[in-house]
Amino acid sequence: MLFEQLQIRDVLVCPAQILAPMAGITDTVFRRFIKRLGGCGLIMTEFVSSEGMLRQNLKSKRFLYYTGEERPITAQIFGADADRLAEAAAMIEDLGFNLIDLNLGCPAKKVVKCGGSGLLRDLPNLETILRQIRAAVTIPFTIKIRIGWSDDEIVAVPVARMAEDCGVEAIAVHGRTRVQGFSGRARWDVIGEVKQAVRIPVIGNGDVMNPRDAEALAAATGCDAVMIGRAAPTNPWIFRQMADYFASGSYREPTEADRYALIREYYAMLVAEDIPGSIGKMKQFASWFTHGVRNGAELRHRVQSANTPREVLDRVDDFFSTPQTVPCEPATEQLVAAESDTCA
């Protein structure tokens, strides 16, 4: 079966379908939410600043909170100072994470200044970083990269070979450059070149919005696993759909009842755990979860105008208790715009 499993040393990823780290999205509640829907074999934290970790700021501590339900789990860090990154990596191992991942893909300007995809333009420093992180931890060490800074600076293959030589045990490749951001098409051909160049597992990422896209990615690249980023908030069922499709050749689209249960459960988890900023999270995710819902614009309005998390829950219950007569809303370009600041 396609993407049945992936072994990264002593960590079994089954199925070989991975939730990408996304700033502002993949917190502990969303990660558990995705795991409960099924089909996701590995989840990753939001990326955490090595400097923030060493200063022990509250945001970094919150990003690194996880529960046993989330295993296996990767913590992703970013930074540009090899010594500081190595020290932060050791802290992550002490926290009990199954793996550690280095972010070499975020295109955000504030991140590029101190790591992320900016390191793809400084390979000597990157090699020092990789070797020092590898020396600092005993858990599996992976990286997530973009294919390069621009079309004139495609460095995915040399970076992958260098990473393998430094002891990195798997590499996720987002098939876009830093300059592209999330525009244009992902270069699956470059992901395939990386797969041919190294022996460590290669995880494909970019432009996989449904199970057939994942199948096409595998055929085009030969990658060992698939990583899903921006499709997950808009279609949290995608991991289960992929598992069903690869096993049986078909998958089920969510019903109206499924959508209600999805929205209700995620919001209820936020309320039950008294997550800081829950009302903001509810309004943020309303932009994604309500597409495909009949009269979704009205539901979004009700959520956005609520003042408390409990009021949001009551409004969701009330909305779905009343039959909606307008057609289901298709996904729109608004979704892409809403996701453009993520670092998947």
Which residue ranges make up each domain of the chain?
A: 6-248, 256-321
The percent of the chain in helix, strand and coil, each rounded to the nearest 5, is 50, 15, 35
pLDDT at 328: 60
pLDDT at 325: 53
In the chain, count of helices (H) and strands (E)? 16, 11
pLDDT in tens, 155-168: 999 999 999 999 99
pLDDT at 58: 75
Check pLDDT > 50 for residue 277. Answer: yes
pLDDT at 73: 98
Cis peptide before 21 (omega within 30 of 0): no
The CATH superfamily of 6-248 is: Aldolase class I (3.20.20.70)
DSSP per-residue codes, 282-319: HHHHHHHHTTTSBTHHHHHHHHHT-SSHHHHHHHHHHH
Which DSSP symbol is given to 12? E
Q: Are 266 and 33 in contact (CB under 8 A)?
A: yes
The residue ranking higher by pLDDT, 143 or 320, is 143
Using pLDDT thresholds of 50, 70 and 90, give the confidence band for residue 39: very high
Distance (Å, whole) CA 243 – CA 256? 22
Q: What is the mean pLDDT of residues 78-91?
A: 96
**Average pLDDT for the chain:** 91
Using pLDDT thresholds of 50, 70 and 90, give the confidence band for residue 329: low
pLDDT at 332: 39
Most confident segment among 105-109, 135-139, 229-233, 270-274: 135-139
pLDDT at 327: 54
pLDDT in tens, 168-194: 999 999 999 999 988 999 999 999 999
pLDDT at 122: 94
The residue ranking higher by pLDDT, 341 or 287, is 287
Check pLDDT > 50 for residue 334. Answer: no
CA 312 to chain centre: 26
pTM: 0.91
Name the nearest CA neighbour of 101 among 150, 48, 51. Answer: 48
Q: What is the mean pLDDT of residues 122-140?
A: 97
Check pLDDT > 60 for residue 280. Answer: yes
Q: How far apart are the first and last CA of the chain?
A: 26
Check pLDDT > 50 for residue 133. Answer: yes
Q: What is the mean pLDDT of residues 14-37?
A: 95
Name the nearest CA neighbour of 325 among 290, 291, 295. Answer: 295
Which string of b and e fits 73-103 if b means at least 16 CB within 10 Å?
bbbbbbbbbbebbbbbbbbbbeeebbbbbbb
Using pLDDT thresholds of 50, 70 and 90, give the confidence band for residue 57: confident
Positions marked catalytic: 106
The residue ranking higher by pLDDT, 208 or 255, is 208
pLDDT at 319: 92
Q: What is the mean pLDDT of residues 205-232?
A: 97
pLDDT at 330: 54
pLDDT at 225: 98
